[in-house]
C-alpha cells in the first residue's frame, strides 16, 4: 500500500530524515518507535504532505487493483482524497467548535451530505461519547474524549491508511488500553494503520511489523514480536535493565 524509498527531509535547517525506506502493507498495523527527535513525526508529516521530501520516493496505492501513485509532491488535501488521513500529535481539535462540527470538518473534501450524515451516525454508534457530547466544544472534552474525536474526524474522510501520532500521549492507563482496543478493532475491519507511539511495549504488542528510527535513520525492523524480544530494543525503549 505504501512504499517509502531513500527519503531525505530537511526541517528547520536540520537533516531530519536521512534516507529512510519502509513499507506498509494493506491490513497491517505498522509501528514506528524511537526516541524524541528521531524523526517519527517528520515521517508522518512527509507522508501526509505537510512536509516535502528533499529526495526519495513515496509510492501509495489505495487498493491492490490500483496503480501506485507518487504522493511525494502532492498537496495535503490531494493526499487525503487519495485515502490517507493523519491524526496529529497533541490531538489538535478545533477548540471552539462542537464535537459534531469537528467531525464535519473531517469531511470537508466530501460533497455527499446524506452519506456524511450517515457516517457521523455510524461513528456515534462506534464511539458513543461522540453522541453524548455532540454539542460540547472540543476544548471541554477530556484527553481521551479528544482522542476519540480526532480518530473519528480522520475516519470521516473514509481513509484506507490511517496515520496516528502518539495517540496515548497524556492519557491514563485505562484510556490507553481503550484507544489500543479501538485500533485493533479498526484493523479487523480492514483499516491499515501506521502508528507512532511513545508506549513502545503496547505498540509492539499490537503491531504486525515495526521499525526503529534513530537520528533520522531506520536502524531495526521486524515483526512486533521480534522487536519486543530484541535486547537492544528492550534496553532502549522497554525499560529493561
- Does residue 99 register a pLDDT over 70? yes
Give residues with Cβ within 8 angstroms of 3, minimum separation 6: 22, 23, 57, 58, 59, 60, 68
Alpha-carbon distances, residue 3 vs 75, 132, 190 (angstroms): 18, 40, 19
Query: What does the domain layout of the chain look like in residue ranges?
Result: 2-89+159-237
Per-residue confidence (pLDDT) for residue 88, from 0 to 100: 86
pTM assigned to the model:
0.93
Topology of domain 2-89+159-237, per CATH?
Rossmann fold (3.40.50)
Exposure string over 67-89, b if 16+ CB within 10 A, otherwise e: eeeebbebeeeebbebbbbbbbb
Give residues with Cβ within 8 angstroms of 74, minimum separation 6: 49, 82
Lowest mean pLDDT among 15-19, 86-90, 127-131: 86-90
CA 105 from centre of chain: 18
Per-residue confidence (pLDDT) for residue 192, from 0 to 100: 97
Per-residue confidence (pLDDT) for residue 171, from 0 to 100: 83
Alpha-carbon distances, residue 219 vs 2, 37, 58, 173 (angstroms): 19, 15, 19, 29
Using left for φ > 0, alpha for ψ between -120 and 50, and beta otherwise, residue 12 falls in left
Is residue 63 very low, low, confident or very high in pLDDT (cuts 50, 70, 90)? confident
3-state secondary structure 101-142: HHHHHHCCCCCCHHHHHHHHHHHHHHCCHHHHCCCCEHHHCC
Instruction: Determine the Cα–Cα distance for residues 222 and 172; give it in Å rounded to an integer.
Output: 29
Exposure string over 138-158, b if 16+ CB within 10 A, otherwise e: beebeebbbbbbbbbbbbbbe
pLDDT tens per residue, range 108-155: 888 899 999 999 999 999 888 899 999 999 989 988 889 889 999 999
Cell numbers that stand for 136 in this block: 460540547
Per-residue confidence (pLDDT) for residue 240, from 0 to 100: 60
pLDDT tens per residue, range 160-199: 999 999 988 888 888 888 889 999 999 999 999 999 998 9
Among 180, 141, 178, 142, which Cα is nearest to 164's? 180
Per-residue confidence (pLDDT) for residue 13, from 0 to 100: 86
Amino acid at each position: 500500500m505504501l512504499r517509502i524509498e531513500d527519503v531525505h527531509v530537511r526541517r528547520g535547517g536540520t537533516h531530519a530524515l536521512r534516507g529512510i525506506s519502509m513499507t506498509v502493507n494493506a491490513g497491517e498495523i505498522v509501528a514506528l518507535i524511537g526516541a524524541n527527535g528521531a524523526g517519527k513525526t517528520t515521517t508522518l508529516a512527509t507522508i501526509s504532505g505537510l512536509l516535502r521530501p528533499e529526495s526519495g520516493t513515496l509510492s501509495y496505492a489505495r487498493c491492490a487493483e490500483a496503480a501506485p501513485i507518487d504522493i511525494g509532491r502532492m498537496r495535503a488535501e490531494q493526499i487525503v482524497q487519495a485515502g490517507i488521513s493523519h491524526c496529529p500529535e497533541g490531538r489538535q481539535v478545533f477548540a471552539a467548535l462542537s464535537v459534531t462540527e469537528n467531525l464535519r470538518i473531517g469531511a470537508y473534501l466530501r460533497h455527499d451530505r446524506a452519506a456524511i450524515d450517515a457516517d457521523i451516525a455510524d461513528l456515534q454508534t462506534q464511539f458513543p461519547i461522540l453522541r453524548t457530547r455532540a454539542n460540547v466544544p472540543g476544548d471541554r472534552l477530556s484527553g481521551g474524549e479528544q482522542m476519540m474525536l480526532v480518530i473519528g474526524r480522520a475516519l470521516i474522510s473514509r481513509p484506507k491508511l490511517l496515520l496516528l501520532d502518539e495517540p496515548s500521549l497524556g492519557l491514563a492507563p485505562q484510556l490507553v488500553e481503550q484507544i489500543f482496543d479501538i485500533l485493533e478493532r479498526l484493523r479487523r475491519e480492514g483499516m491499515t494503520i501506521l502508528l507512532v507511539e511513545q508506549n513502545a511495549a503496547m505498540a509492539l504488542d499490537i503491531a504486525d511489523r515495526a521499525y526503529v528510527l534513530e537520528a533520522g535513520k531506520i536502524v531495526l525492523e521486524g515483526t512486533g514480536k521480534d522487536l519486543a524480544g530484541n535486547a537492544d530494543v528492550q534496553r532502549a525503549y522497554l525499560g529493561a535493565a
